[in-house]
């Protein structure tokens, strides 16, 4: 990661990065990376992560953020090399690969999924669903299966998840504004 950032600073705008399309999570993660690292990298949008990954393997593109499930085959076959993970800590599936945050303070752009209910759902029902979800996520067999698929199971309270959602919306809105990303 240090070498990549140094190369991008030496020659601003010379490194291209791929994404599966304008405004997708990997485009946003790359833009946030450029902003946080203080570098200029060029976006090359593709029609999906598959074609972008093919061009990365072929050496047509210099880098890309991609999810573990999509890139697992190319990583296992050593067609591409993971240089950092976008999660705040090391990732189970890529042991020994440091987080981007090691070199770019505060960087975090991992994909997450959440369990939600319709607005107005009674508090007792929300708490029951939350407790059952936490119980299922605590099952070692389920945790293992999810981890092998590239997921890191986590649980929280409804209030913690609500606060997290608000912080994520604010974070990504800033990346979009600062990068002037438009779907037009």
- In tens, the pLDDT along 2-27 reads 999 999 999 999 999 999 999 999 99
**pLDDT digit string (tens) for 155-183?**
999 999 999 999 999 999 999 999 999 88
Q: What is the reported pLDDT for 152?
A: 82
Contact indicator for 91, 85 with CB cutoff of 8 Å: yes
Q: What is the pLDDT of residue 133?
A: 95
Q: What is the pLDDT of residues 51-95, one digit of tens each?
A: 999 999 999 999 999 998 899 999 999 999 999 999 888 887 888
- CA–CA separation, 88 vs 99, rounded Å? 6
Joined together, the tokens standing for residue 105 give: 């303070």
Decide which of 3.40.50.720, 3.10.20.30, 3.40.190.10, 3.40.630.30 is the CATH code for 2-111: 3.40.190.10
Identify the CA nearest to 53 among candidates 23, 33, 77: 77
pTM over 0.75: yes
Predicted pLDDT of residue 57: 96
- Helix H or strand E segment including 44: strand 42-45
Tell me the HSE value of 106 on the side-chain side, using a 13 A CA sphere: 6
Q: Which residue has the tokens 């993970």?
A: 85
Question: What are the structural domain ranges in the chain?
Answer: 2-111, 112-184
């Amino acid at each position: 990661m240090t070498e990549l950032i140094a190369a991008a600073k030496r020659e601003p705008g010379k490194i291209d990065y791929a994404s599966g399309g304008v405004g997708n999570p990997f485009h946003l993660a790359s833009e946030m990376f450029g902003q946080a690292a203080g570098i200029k990298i060029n976006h090359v949008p593709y029609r999906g992560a598959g074609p972008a990954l093919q061009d990365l393997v072929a050496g047509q593109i210099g880098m890309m953020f991609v999810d573990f499930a999509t890139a697992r085959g190319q990583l296992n076959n050593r067609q591409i090399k993971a240089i950092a993970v976008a999660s705040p800590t090391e990732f189970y599936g890529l042991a020994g690969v440091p987080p981007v945050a090691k070199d770019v303070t505060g960087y975090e752009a991992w994909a997450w999924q959440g369990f939600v209910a319709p607005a107005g759902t009674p508090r007792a029902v929300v708490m029951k669903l939350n407790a059952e979800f936490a119980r299922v996520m605590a099952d070692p067999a389920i945790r293992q299966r999810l981890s092998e698929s590239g997921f890191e199971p986590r649980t929280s309270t409804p209030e913690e998840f609500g606060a997290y959602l608000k912080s994520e919306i604010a974070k990504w809105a800033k990346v979009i504004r600062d990068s002037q990303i438009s779907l037009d």
